[in-house]
Amino acid sequence: MSTRFFLSLLVLHGTLSFPALAQDSVTLEVINATRLEFNRLGMFILGFWALLNLVVGILVSFQTKGQVRAFHQMNAYWNVVNLGIAGFGFWQATQAAALNFWEALVAQQQIEKVLLFNAALDFGYMAIGLLLIERGRRLEKERWIGFGKSILLQGAFLLLFDAILYGFQQQLGMELLELGKGIAVFK
């Protein structure tokens, strides 16, 4: 038999057995650490996005006019807030505490609720952006169109960001609930 066949078998075996190994090692400490790591990574990504938009927005807004200038100005304004949120969120995620099961469950449910609430806000941002674009076109206000396009972009990014982070957190929440099934309330 060929080496290629054995390598394929080895990869297949490793792929099929990996989830079983991962399930055996899931503990409350791992779930808590993973939730915090998701939050730290999310805030790092949001902070990077904010810094990028802030720097580009400031630089380009001085070199352009009209709609393009307004677009980059709003990106800069918007991302001052995002940078503050990212900084606070990152700091909060580094304040690790040992949580018992019930505290971990509350923390997990809170982050999931926050992300769902944020996703609803993101749809609102995108609607406001579309409204500004439409009103700007009707009233021939280049600035409104630029601001609207910026808010639409920022809302779309935040919706994608919140949806992906929610997906990771929701999966982690299901693992936490599964772990909780093994906890006896009365003995």
Burial class (CB in 10 A: 0-12, 13-18, 19+), 32: buried
Angle at which helix 66-94 crosses helix 142-180, to 10 degrees, equals 20
Quick check: 92 pLDDT over 60?
Answer: yes
Look at residues 29, 137, 74 and name the one whose alpha carbon lies nearest to residue 82.
74
- The arithmetic mean of pLDDT across residues 75-89, rounded, is 96
108 contacts 102 by C-beta, under 8 angstroms: no
- Those residues whose C-beta lies under 8 Å from the C-beta of residue 121, and which sit 6 or more positions away, are 158
State how far the Cα of 19 lies from the Cα of 28, in Å rounded to an integer: 17
State how far the Cα of 57 lies from the Cα of 40, in Å rounded to an integer: 25
CB atoms within 10 A of CB 172: 21
pLDDT at 25: 60
pLDDT at 142: 96
pLDDT at 179: 87
- Model pLDDT for residues 31-55, shown as the tens digit of each residue: 999 999 999 999 999 999 999 999 9
Quick check: 97 pLDDT over 90?
Answer: no
